[in-house]
């Protein structure tokens, strides 16, 4: 199995040396910041990632202030009070993406966020306390209890909130397969995810690097990425 040191050296060579690569590494939120971030911001980011799935990210970013206005700043306590008729009315509201399945996902995630906040004190505490060494467990939990929070939507939600996590981008998977990890081209089974988690855990023990940084370094070591 290729050592992480060799992968990092390859990434540095492709990205302008150690300093050039360092500038491309994701910024992480502290555990304190994750806990103190409001439930409304977690709900907003869930919604943004769900709406960007299969859609133009730039369009959603441009419309985002209108989303914030239409959905009352994503305050769970306010959204929880909306009637079924008010939720249905969003399907004709030009401020948002008028896709009922994605609107319904927000409606369901309001209750998900509220339930977890009551259980843990805040939704952020659930995220902050979940160990990075069991990221696939957190992914499974979000998929089971949230709405439309499987796959890449969950991963980008965690990354954008600052949670330390790996992303299964194409270049990351290509690198993992190139070093001999026995996974499919589009890993989604528990078999593949467990192998990926174990590989990242081993590299973390070896390097002490954050999972997000290792993930980005893998992505920068191959392919035509333009970070």
Instruction: Calculate the average pLDDT of the chain.
Output: 96
Task: Give me the domain span that covers residue 11.
Answer: 4-28+166-220
**Structure token digits, residue 135:** 């990221």
* Mean pLDDT in residue range 210-223: 96
| pLDDT tens string 74-100 | 999 999 999 999 999 999 999 999 999
Neighbours of 89 (CB within 10 A): 12
pTM given for the model: 0.94
Out of 146, 161, 176, pick the residue that ends a domain.
161
The pLDDT value recorded for residue 166 is 98
Whether 45 and 157 share a structural domain: yes
For residue 140, the tally of other CB atoms under 10 A from its CB is 15
pLDDT given for residue 224 in this prediction? 73
**Is the domain of 52 the same as that of 139?**
yes
Total structural domains in the chain?
2
| Distances in whole angstroms, Cα of residue 29 to Cα of each of 42, 121, 126, 165 | 13, 19, 14, 11
Residue 225 forms part of a structural domain? no
* C-beta separation of 31 from 124 below 8 A: no
- Are 94 and 205 found together in one domain? no
* Cβ–Cβ under 8 Å, residues 219 and 169: yes
Indicate whether 53 and 117 sit together in one domain.
Answer: yes
Residue 227 is assigned to a structural domain of this protein: no
Q: What does the block give as tokens for 114?
A: 């509220």
- Assign residue 50 the CATH number of its domain: 1.10.340.30
Please state, in angstroms and rounded to a whole number, the distance separating the CA atoms of residues 75 and 1.
Answer: 48
């Amino acid at each position: 199995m290729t050592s992480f040191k060799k992968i990092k050296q390859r990434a540095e060579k492709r990205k302008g040396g150690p300093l050039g690569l360092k500038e491309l590494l994701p910024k992480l939120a502290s555990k304190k910041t994750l806990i103190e971030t409001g439930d409304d911001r977690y709900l907003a980011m869930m919604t943004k990632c769900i709406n960007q799935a299969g859609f133009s990210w730039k369009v959603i970013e441009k419309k985002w202030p209108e989303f914030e206005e239409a959905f009352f700043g994503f305050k769970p306590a306010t959204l929880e009070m909306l009637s079924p008729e008010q939720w249905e009315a969003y399907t004709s509201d030009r401020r948002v993406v008028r896709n009922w399945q994605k609107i319904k996902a927000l409606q369901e995630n309001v209750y998900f966020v509220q339930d977890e906040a009551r259980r843990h004190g805040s939704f952020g505490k659930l995220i902050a306390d979940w160990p990075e060494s069991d990221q696939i467990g957190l992914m499974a939990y979000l998929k089971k209890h949230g709405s439309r929070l499987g796959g890449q939507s969950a991963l980008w939600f965690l990354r954008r909130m600052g949670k330390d996590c790996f992303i299964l981008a194409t270049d990351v998977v290509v690198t993992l397969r190139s070093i001999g990890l026995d996974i499919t081209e589009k890993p989604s089974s528990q078999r593949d995810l467990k192998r990926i988690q174990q590989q990242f855990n081993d590299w973390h023990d070896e390097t002490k690097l954050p999972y997000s940084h290792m993930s980005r370094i893998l992505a920068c070591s191959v392919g035509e990425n333009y970070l």
